[in-house]
Structure 1
């Protein structure tokens, strides 16, 4: 499967919302908690976003927040799981982030999920707890730069 990654555009937000609400893990208790304006703010004012396209549609997205130095979102539609969409979005996001700053980046994710396994395998280090029992992970510039590709 050919996966194309590109910078997210304003007109991608409706499909980004569909993907965010289609996931089976790390679900939102209330889909209204993340608005289109939130997506716009994080993608264009606070950081940057990317989408992964496969089979002519958006299969996943990632958004990084430079202000809080964290991964705001990385989600793949269930129909496209295990097809390297998440890996490509993760890598392009971190490459860009570390081109902007050498500051550590963090993220939170629910324990005992595929996301937890993905981040551990990607070199993220568990550093504590975030929010309501999420695992807090951190990636340093040196760990990212020195990773085995």
Structure 2
């Protein structure tokens, strides 16, 4: 298993992973274009991928402009192996090395993702559309992940 920064050349495999998930699915896969992904990878923030046998099986993307976790997804065949936790950790360490601003995300209620973020220390602060809105503070992250 290799965790590394994502490159533009990874976008096609990132899209495969994003469209393979069973929860938090896109109503229309065309809603997130390759150009959207490229903008987040190269202009708005940073992304990481997990590779196993030269195949991307998970990825995370953080957006510095909106202080938002834009994506954290795993291919269903690779769940429950600690990959999501590792991608999450690398992403938040990088984010809080760049800024001390709170970061937020939205995820569907009653999902494994909701449980994952609660266990990781995210605090529910309201809703974002139909999703639960969570927030992580600089102090909470640094004090619990040293």
Q: Shared fold by TM > 0.5?
A: yes
Which residue of structure 2 aligns with residue 53 of structure 1? 51
Q: Does 1:35 align with 2:33?
A: yes
Alignment-derived partner of residue 72 in structure 1: 70
Which of 120, 139, 143 matches 1:146? 143
1:89 aligns with 2:93: no
Residue 126 of structure 2 is aligned to residue 128 of structure 1: yes
Name the SS for the 1:22 alignment partner: coil
TM-aligned CA deviation for residue 4 of structure 1: 1.2
Shift of 1:25: 0.2
Aligned residues: 146
SS of 2:110's equivalent in the other structure is coil
Task: Name stretches of at least 5 consecutive residues in structure 2 with no aligned partner.
Answer: none
Alpha-carbon offset, residue 14 of structure 1: 0.2
User: What is the CA–CA distance in structure 1 between the aligned matches of 2:94 and 2:120, rounded to whole Å?
Assistant: 16
Residue 34 of structure 1 deviates from its aligned partner by 0.2
Once the two structures are superposed, residues 29-52 of structure 1 have per-residue CA deviations (whole angstroms, 9 ceiling, x without a partner) of 000000000000011100000001
SS in 2 for 1:120: helix
Structure 1: segments with no counterpart, 5+ residues: none
**2:124 and 2:61 mapped to 1: Cα distance?**
20
Deviations 1:6-30 (A, max 9, x none): 0001110000000000000000000
Alignment TM-score, normalising by the size of structure 2: 0.97
Runs of 4+ in 1 over 3 A off after TM superposition: none
SS at match of 1:38: helix
1:16 is paired with a residue of what secondary structure?
helix
- Separation in 2, partners of 1:148, 1:117: 19
Other structure's SS at 1:144 match:
helix
